[in-house]
Amino acid sequence: MLSTAIGLIVLLFHLAGIVAAVNAVMNTRTAQGAFAWALGLILLPYITLIPYLYLGRSRFRGYINRHRASRLQSREATSLLMAADASDASEAMRYQSIANLLDTRFYAGQRLRLLIDGDATFEAIFAAIGKAQHYVLVQFFIFHDDELGRRMQALLLERAAAGVEVCVLFDGIGSHALPKHYVQTLCAGGVTIHAFTTRKKSNRFQLNFRNHRKVVVVDGHIGFTGGLNVGDEYIGLKPPLAPWRDTHVQIEGPAVAELQRSFAEDWYWVTGELPPMAASQQIEGSALTLIAATGPADAQESCSLYFVSAIHAATQRVWLTTPYFVPDQAVMSALRLAVARGVDVRVLIPSRPDHYAVFQASGLYAHDAVLAGVRVFRYQPGFIHEKVMLVDDDTASIGSMNLDNRSFRLNFEISSLNIDRHFASEVETMLLADFAQSREVSADDYTKAPYLRRLIMHVARLFDPVL
């Protein structure tokens, strides 16, 4: 009797695995991902079926159609607030494919400030919020109820008490550990706060389509974006990953309107309403800036293509920093071709893992990159989380985009692409300091590693689609 019941359970698992495998083949975005899921679901459904419910099923057609319709409605509503004078400067023409892909544009006249670490970033953000007169828009993937999180909470409550309209978005999965009382305290103090969810109705079986963007806008005049979240680890207060290395950028000028638009689209999706918005100010700045907001609802795989286009535009150098180096074939091919053109290609990655499987897969990709002529470095003092790209001597990208499948295809991301020689020189100085504290990876790192470690790297790479 018991053996019959066990046999029936095993049969049901395999039948469910076959059904899920068909779903994976029909809906997974890449052939590699579809094959990996289908093989696991058919052969080992009792191991892979539950993870598939959480990590697979990544193409909800109805969701995507609704999100596109929502984005169109919010864009129509915010179009009058956008700056009319887009830039047609010749320096920006080599990135025109990015502008066309994302239906956006470069704006002239930005004033940029490079925020090299967590202390500088939150000092600048808190100072700007503290001076808010009309409204504050705040969006982070992660909020923690710790020292930094409570400082943010207290400041937002103070501004709300002063009559400033405060709107806050956090990701429901990224901030899964955020206690209810943190949100309730903000609500009681007049702050409007919502969790970004994949669909209008919560789905506890869906971990994809996360909102990984980091955006702060104050009164429409000043904006921030980059790699940091709201938590003590981001200011280096949590070993063993401390000191935490990250970067943000402060933007003043017409491009701030595009940061507002990105926030407004996400806010409209969650609430059905638009947040407070104002026209951006014209200032005397020298930078050309394009705000690239990418996501799984885009018609193309826009985040991956963002990197491909920028790398193809390089004639002298491409320096990249990323905590997760799991590039897809298009990005890896672009890096190889850049090396073949004589471009100085460097990638800076962590020497310490915060996600073990990603770290092991990154090691194998680092080896492949080294063999292709890419110089790869591992940052030694602590964990490097910054997402920075330096192209030639005039272009720097700073935002939330990682070089992995989640950023390329599953997450909502944002980055600022800035053309300005002075700003690029500052970024170069910052990255040179990072490289000086790093160890260059050689082919021996892989070939002389123990066999078991190399095997783990290869096994980890099999899970590229969900890393």
Q: Judge if 314 and 462 occupy the same domain.
A: yes
Q: What is the structure's pLDDT at 117? A: 95
The CA-CA-CA angle for residues 464, 263, 385, to 5°, reads: 40
Q: What is the structure's pLDDT at 156? A: 98
**pLDDT 10s digits, 218-227:** 999 999 999 9
DSSP class of residue 352 equals: S
Q: What is the structure's pLDDT at 259? A: 96
In the chain, the N- to C-terminal Cα span, in Å, equals 41
Residue 178 near residue 194, CB atoms below 8 Å: no
Residue 301 has pLDDT above 60, yes or no: yes
79 Cβ contact list (under 8 Å, min separation 6): none
Q: What is the structure's pLDDT at 296? A: 87
Q: Are strands 215-218 and 222-226 parallel, antiparallel or unpaired?
A: antiparallel
As annotated, the active-site residues are 212, 214, 219, 385, 387, 392
Report in angstroms the alpha-carbon separations of 128 from 131, 136, 163, 314, 452.
5, 9, 16, 35, 51
Tokens of 81: 């607030």
Q: Judge if 174 and 234 occupy the same domain.
A: yes
Q: Last residue of some domain: 228, 251, 285?
A: 285
Q: Judge if 267 and 394 occupy the same domain.
A: no
15 Cβ contact list (under 8 Å, min separation 6): none
pLDDT class for 380, splitting at 50, 70, 90?
very high
Tokens of 459: 């096994």
Q: Is 0.85 topped by the overall pTM?
A: yes
Q: Judge if 209 and 356 occupy the same domain.
A: no
Q: Which domain holds residue 274?
A: 62-86+111-285
Q: Judge if 261 and 125 occupy the same domain.
A: yes
Count: domains in the chain: 3
Residue 206 has pLDDT above 70, yes or no: no
Q: Judge if 281 and 371 occupy the same domain.
A: no
Q: How far apart are CA 202 and CA 199, in angstroms?
A: 6
Q: What is the structure's pLDDT at 87? A: 62
Domain assignment of residue 118, yes or no: yes
Q: What is the structure's pLDDT at 19? A: 79
